[in-house]
Copies of this chain bind each other. A is one copy, B any other.
Amino acid sequence: MLKKVLVGNAYTAIDHHQIKFLPQALIEIDSSGVIDRVLEPTAPDYQAAYQAAQQAHLLEKVPADQVIFPGFVDLHVHAPQWPQAGLALDKPLAAWLNDYTFPLEAKYQDLDFARQVYHELVHELLAQGTTTVLFFGTIHPEANLVLGEESLHQGLRTLIGRVAMDNPDQTPAYYRDSSSQAAIVATETFIHQLNDLGKDNPLSPIPVITPRFVPSCTDATLAGLGRLARKYDLPVQSHVSESNWEHQYAIDRFGIHDAAVLDHFGLLTSRTVLAHATQLTPEDQALLRQRKTAIAHCPISNAYFGNGVLPVNDLLAAKNRVGLGTDISGGYSPSLYDNLRHAVALSQVRNDGISRDDEGIANSRISMVASFYLATVGGAEALNLPVGRIQAGKIADLQVVKDRFKRPTETAQERFERILYQTHRSEIMQVYTQGDQVYQA
């Protein structure tokens, strides 16, 4: 039983070197929101399927000046930081945290404030073509539930973490778990509450074990969270070696690297996504690879706080799992388009160096195809979700994007690149999750 059939020019990533162009593809979406078949005009069944869809009034034609992409997967968003996106980016990390971020996050004990911000944010992310988001919330279980409700209500696929942070040395008294036990109990309570939300809805938010980062947690909390991840078989998210400071902090406190600390506490799993990772050593990278732990590459944020450009090419070549994240508000932009462009441009700077005396690091360039792969397939695989591709068996999370310009002599590959370079929010015409339209320009 079909729910909807889209027909139009579509692009989907094969791997990080190749895209597949599907001209006038017929995308059949079944009643559960899963792609049943993708037919190209050369397929024997195409005409019959087209006509059947038309007769059943299921056909939605995407105009020739628009293209269909998979919806984007954003692996790193601090939902509560949305009101300060674009602020304080010239501040050092400590000032950014203590003068801006912690005071703002503490405000989410006010549920009206939470409702207002999260309503706006969820809408904004959908409007940017993002269909799946891995969220950091705050320490407040209720505000995080509001985020879950807003996501479910507006049709955004989400994974949401209640942030744990109890180390008095690294967190302010007004915004901290009062004890390790309190952090674990609140996390476990939140898991149950979120699991009760929208139970049979395929977009029901998934709870995520979320130690803010190693510095903000005591050993007992890190250990307790590792146990919860195992007990409930849940995804895990945190930051890893984001900056020189964070990388050194773990060495000073534990005598081992940040990634190894997370591993020690059972937090490096095949369901873990770690943001930034710019300061990982090759050994750290190998550890993540071995654990099948994914990296959320946040190119804009890393420019401000990462003290380095992630070696995306090396990681992909070594088969580390990598996706893309906006890192609101360490990154100012809610758009993965902005981030995939920065991923390419910054990889060029890594390749070519920062000054006339600097030769850069050879083979660091990534292509726009690779960046698109990160924003779709990379993110989907990091979360072990069947999204990110326009392909039979994948969930129909899609975006339809307008090409404002006519360039009749371009190849399909060129058009793909140009659209990715030129798309902003105003070009995103429609967004679908689970086969349902959830945003229209």
Known: A86-B421, A87-B418. A354 touches B360 (CB 8 A): yes
* CA of A355 to CA of B347, assembled, Å: 11
* CA of A88 to CA of B414, assembled, Å: 8
State the majority secondary structure of interface residues on A.
loop
Q: Interface 1/0s, chain A 302-343, versus B by CB < 8 A? A: 011011110100000000000000000000110000000110
Q: Which residue of B lies closest to A366 (CB)?
A: B90
Shortest CB-to-CB span from A417 to chain B, Å, is: 6
Q: Cβ of B348 and Cβ of A304 under 8 Å apart?
A: yes
* CA of A120 to CA of B422, assembled, Å: 15
Shortest CB-to-CB span from A281 to chain B, Å, is: 7
* CA of A35 to CA of B333, assembled, Å: 35
Q: Cβ of A85 and Cβ of B422 under 8 Å apart?
A: yes
Max chain B Cβ within 10 angstroms of own Cβ: one of A85, A300, A349, A353: A349
* CA of A425 to CA of B244, assembled, Å: 36
Q: Cβ of A354 and Cβ of B345 under 8 Å apart?
A: no
Complex contacts, A87 vs chain B, CB 8 Å: 410, 414, 417-418
* CA of A86 to CA of B413, assembled, Å: 12
Shortest CB-to-CB span from A344 to chain B, Å, is: 8
The answer, yes or no, to whether A407 is at the interface (CB within 8 Å) is yes
Within 8 A of B (CB), among A362-380: 364-365, 367-368
Q: Cβ of B348 and Cβ of A355 under 8 Å apart?
A: no
Q: Cβ of B345 and Cβ of A309 under 8 Å apart?
A: no
Max chain B Cβ within 10 angstroms of own Cβ: one of A244, A414, A421: A421
Shortest CB-to-CB span from A92 to chain B, Å, is: 11
* CA of A333 to CA of B420, assembled, Å: 11
Q: Which residue of B lies closest to A83 (CB)?
A: B407
Shortest CB-to-CB span from A409 to chain B, Å, is: 9
Max chain B Cβ within 10 angstroms of own Cβ: one of A86, A367, A422: A86
Q: Cβ of A308 and Cβ of B352 under 8 Å apart?
A: yes
The answer, yes or no, to whether A279 is at the interface (CB within 8 Å) is yes
Q: Which residue of B lies closest to A423 (CB)?
A: B86
Q: Cβ of A368 and Cβ of B421 under 8 Å apart?
A: no
The answer, yes or no, to whether A174 is at the interface (CB within 8 Å) is no
Complex contacts, A352 vs chain B, CB 8 Å: 306-308
Shortest CB-to-CB span from A403 to chain B, Å, is: 11
Known: A85-B418, A90-B365, A348-B303. A356 touches B308 (CB 8 A): yes
Q: Cβ of A356 and Cβ of B307 under 8 Å apart?
A: yes
The answer, yes or no, to whether A169 is at the interface (CB within 8 Å) is no
Shortest CB-to-CB span from A19 to chain B, Å, is: 13
Q: Cβ of B421 and Cβ of A281 under 8 Å apart?
A: no
Q: Cβ of B311 and Cβ of A355 under 8 Å apart?
A: yes
Q: Cβ of B303 and Cβ of A86 under 8 Å apart?
A: no
Q: Cβ of A354 and Cβ of B350 under 8 Å apart?
A: yes
Q: Which residue of B lies closest to A334 (CB)?
A: B422
The answer, yes or no, to whether A14 is at the interface (CB within 8 Å) is no
Known: A417-B87, A421-B85. A349 touches B354 (CB 8 A): yes
Complex contacts, A422 vs chain B, CB 8 Å: 85-86, 332-333
The answer, yes or no, to whether A358 is at the interface (CB within 8 Å) is yes
Within 8 A of B (CB), among A406-441: 407, 410, 414, 417-422, 424-426
Interface, chain A (partner B; CB < 8 A): 83, 85-90, 120, 244, 247, 278-281, 300, 303-304, 306-309, 311, 332-333, 341-342, 344-346, 348-350, 352-356, 358, 360-361, 364-365, 367-368, 405, 407, 410, 414, 417-422, 424-426
| A-B pairs with beta carbons under 8 Å apart, 8 shown | A83-B407, A86-B422, A90-B368, A307-B352, A307-B356, A308-B353, A345-B346, A354-B364
New A-B contacts (9) at CB < 8 Å, excluding given A90-B367, A307-B352, A354-B360: A86-B422, A87-B417, A89-B417, A281-B356, A308-B353, A342-B345, A354-B358, A354-B361, A424-B425
